[in-house]
Amino acid sequence: MTPTERTVVEQAKAAPMLDQVLRWAAINSGSGNLAGLAAMASELADACAPLPGQIALLDPAPVTRIDAQGHEREVTHGRNLLLTVRPTAPVQILLTGHMDTVFDAEHPFQSCQWLSPGVLNGRVLNGPGVADMKGGLAVMIAALRAFETSPECERLGYQVVFNSDEEVGSPGSAALLARAAAGKLAGLTYEPSTLPDGTLAAARPGSGNFSIIITGRSAHAGRNPQDGRNAVVAAADLALRLSALISPGLSVNCARIEGGGPNNVVPDHAVLRVNIRPRTRLDEALASEALDRIMAQVAAAHDLHIHRHGGFARPPKPINAQGQKLLELVCACGQMLGQEIGWKDSGGVCDGNNIAACGVPVVDTMGVRGGAIHSPDEYLITDSLGERAALSALLLCRLARDGV
């Protein structure tokens, strides 16, 4: 490292990240909590205020979902923050992080507590969103603020997207992410590491969420059941046939069937909720064809109507040559800092999928070390705040100087 890089790294490590995480974790920002998301957006805007450039609060794109009765309803998501710094600099990158969590305002998991370190290194903080990803947001901002003190900063411009709906697939922010990714040399997303040791995610599958609406015909369960068309039975049949598609290249999770009514009525309505995760674009195309074919087969077999809502919002994320180079650069920066970092493929998905689909190499686990995300056991290894801020700060210096 150069003397300048050492200075930038030390400044990043010294940022008050733990205080920020504790304050931000106390704000419930579940994906549907618009007031909490607005409060988080205000906090992030304040934290980014010392950075140069322009910050804007943008409305989400319109989004609809299917309710339990099979009706399409508009869903309101929170607004998104976009920070733009030096858009004419020779090197341009994208950094992203989400302000929403999976814990809604009624969830019992609302506060932080300190845990015994146990077998992990460093202090361990349990709390909603501390790893996924309010810790990552603090790391990103600390690194950017430290990087701005470097003379290399004039060579690197960037946009930062803080979105409000990543945990539900980024339906209202996907278009913003695509616009921001256009023309960028690289992308960095601040999801927590894949493993508590800091391992990065490499390839990821895609992901599609579907609501499949089955419309049958009601009838009396005793007098004339033959005149009915049972939507719940058809939904179950559909779930079994879709589950038979599971293979090494395709994950299918039939998560819920909604519908039915009194025991003496043949149900005329059901909704099947399904998540499908293909490993490749070919797997995605084959899965889409199979879904349509099976829906038609079930509709014919049960003499009723079926249609689907939703799609593949997260494209598969393979690792190409540029993605490999970026992973290697991140790990090389880690080595310079005494951090041994590896990578492995992940079964999860995130905004890194969307960025990679724009042709931009991305490392999407630049956030903290921790684990048990999406559960009340979620934890952050607090020493990793300084580690990962130093890693990002050094990486920004190297990107500004050498690119990927």
Q: What is the CATH number of the domain that holds 243?
A: 3.30.70.360
- In this structure, the answer to whether residues 76 and 219 fall within a common structural domain is no
What pLDDT does 292 receive?
Answer: 98
DSSP 53: S
Over residues 353-367, the pLDDT tens digits come to 999 999 999 999 999
Whole-prediction pTM value?
0.95
- In this structure, the answer to whether residues 100 and 213 fall within a common structural domain is no
Q: Are 209 and 275 in contact (CB under 8 A)?
A: yes
Q: Determine the average pLDDT of the residues in 73-91.
A: 97
- In this structure, the answer to whether residues 18 and 115 fall within a common structural domain is yes
- In this structure, the answer to whether residues 197 and 211 fall within a common structural domain is no
CATH number at residue 51: 3.40.630.10
Q: How confident is the model at residue 319 (pLDDT cuts 50, 70, 90)?
A: very high
| Strands 362-363, 186-189: pairing kind | parallel
On the question of pLDDT at 120 being above 70, the answer is: no
Q: How confident is the model at residue 344 (pLDDT cuts 50, 70, 90)?
A: very high
On the question of pLDDT at 403 being above 90, the answer is: no
Q: Determine the average pLDDT of the residues in 292-316.
A: 97
- In this structure, the answer to whether residues 334 and 191 fall within a common structural domain is yes
- In this structure, the answer to whether residues 222 and 287 fall within a common structural domain is yes
On the question of pLDDT at 30 being above 80, the answer is: yes
Its domain, for residue 128, covers 3-204+317-402
- In this structure, the answer to whether residues 305 and 229 fall within a common structural domain is yes
Buried b (16+ CB within 10 A) or exposed e, 261-282: eeeeebbbbbbbbbbbbbbbee
**Distance between CA 377 and CA 373 in Å, rounded?**
7
Tell me which of 314, 344, 359 is where a domain ends.
314
Buried b (16+ CB within 10 A) or exposed e, 98-111: bbbbbbeeeeebee
- In this structure, the answer to whether residues 226 and 194 fall within a common structural domain is no
Distance of alpha carbon 28 from its chain centroid, rounded? 17
- Mean pLDDT, the chain, whole residue set: 97
- In this structure, the answer to whether residues 256 and 180 fall within a common structural domain is no
On the question of pLDDT at 121 being above 60, the answer is: no
Tell me which of 273, 294, 314 is where a domain ends.
314
What pLDDT does 282 receive?
Answer: 97
* Contact partners, residue 284, CB within 8 Å, separation at least 6: 206, 208, 278, 312, 315, 316
**Distance between CA 370 and CA 377 in Å, rounded?**
10
Over residues 237-265, the pLDDT tens digits come to 999 999 999 999 999 999 999 999 999 99
**Which among 264, 40, 7 is positioned nearest to 138, based on CA atoms?**
40
Q: How confident is the model at residue 118 (pLDDT cuts 50, 70, 90)?
A: low
Q: Determine the average pLDDT of the residues in 345-352.
A: 97
Q: How confident is the model at residue 119 (pLDDT cuts 50, 70, 90)?
A: very low
What pLDDT does 117 receive?
Answer: 64
| Strands 343-344, 200-201: pairing kind | parallel
- In this structure, the answer to whether residues 54 and 153 fall within a common structural domain is yes
Burial degree of 203 (CB within 10 A; 0-12, 13-18, 19+) = middle
Instruction: Return the number of other C-beta atoms located less than 10 Å from residue 372's C-beta.
Output: 13
What pLDDT does 112 receive?
Answer: 97
What pLDDT does 122 receive?
Answer: 65
End-to-end CA distance of the chain: 17
Tell me which of 295, 314, 333 is where a domain ends.
314
What pLDDT does 307 receive?
Answer: 97
On the question of pLDDT at 62 being above 90, the answer is: yes
- In this structure, the answer to whether residues 174 and 87 fall within a common structural domain is yes
- Cα 391–Cα 367–Cα 76 angle in degrees, nearest 5: 145
Q: Are 207 and 370 in contact (CB under 8 A)?
A: no
**Distance between CA 309 and CA 96 in Å, rounded?**
28
**Which among 356, 370, 367 is positioned nearest to 392, based on CA atoms?**
367
| Cβ contacts of 372-376, under 8 Å, gap ≥ 24 | 373/131, 373/132, 373/192, 374/102, 374/132, 376/108, 376/109
On the question of pLDDT at 198 being above 70, the answer is: yes
What pLDDT does 369 receive?
Answer: 97
Considering its fold, how many domains does the chain have in total? 2
- In this structure, the answer to whether residues 147 and 191 fall within a common structural domain is yes
